[in-house]
Amino acid sequence: MNRSGKALWVATLTFAFVASAIAVVPARADTKSFTLYGGMSTGWGFSSASQSNPGPTIIVNRGDTVVLTLNSVDPASTTHNWFIDYNNNLTADTGEPKSSDFSGTTAGSFTFTASQAGTFTYRCAYHPTTMKGVIVIQSPPTFELYGDGIRGWGLQNTTTGIT
């Protein structure tokens, strides 16, 4: 094999190795933090002055660690919590992420992993019709490497959407 042929062969193998390493790197989960303020008659908001019903839309990727700081704008005697209502039945069911209770005197902190992709309603179990909002858990994008060392390589987005 002549010198230029050998150099081309080494370059092709090097590129193929690097490209294959790129293709097998999974999407990295992130930590997403949100602070929510809730009121039994005003809904949820990202600030104590911005509650609405429905509350703000929360967007995360499947696999993300979600950290919520939960505050009440109601009197200390009013209890709240936060949960994702996967089946939209107004009840915090087994398997649905649900925070501990919190009130006007004690902020709550809740951490969960966004494990089910889709668009869901988040709620307070004590006030499920007046304290609700939308959480979108997106499927992370996936890519497919195609081509070869002779013709070149490319990436194709193969995400099929939220399932």
Structural domains in the chain, CATH included, are 3-27+141-157 (no CATH), 31-138 (2.60.40.420)
Maximum separation of any 2 CA atoms in the chain, in Å: 84
> Does the structure show a pLDDT above 50 at 25?
no
pTM of the model: 0.72
Residues whose CB falls within 8 Å of the CB of residue 146, separated by 6 or more in sequence, listed in order: 153, 154, 155, 156
State both tokens at 49: 């002055």
Of the candidate ranges 3-12, 18-27, 32-41, 150-159, the one whose mean pLDDT is the lowest: 18-27
Instruction: Pick left, alpha or beta for residue 3 (phi over 0 → left; psi -120 to 50 → alpha; otherwise beta).
Output: alpha
Nearest to 109 by CA among 56, 35, 58, 46: 35
**pLDDT digits over 121-162, tens only?**
999 999 999 999 999 999 977 766 666 667 766 655 555 554
* More confidently predicted of 149 and 30: 30
| Nearest-angstrom CA–CA distance, 16 and 65 | 34
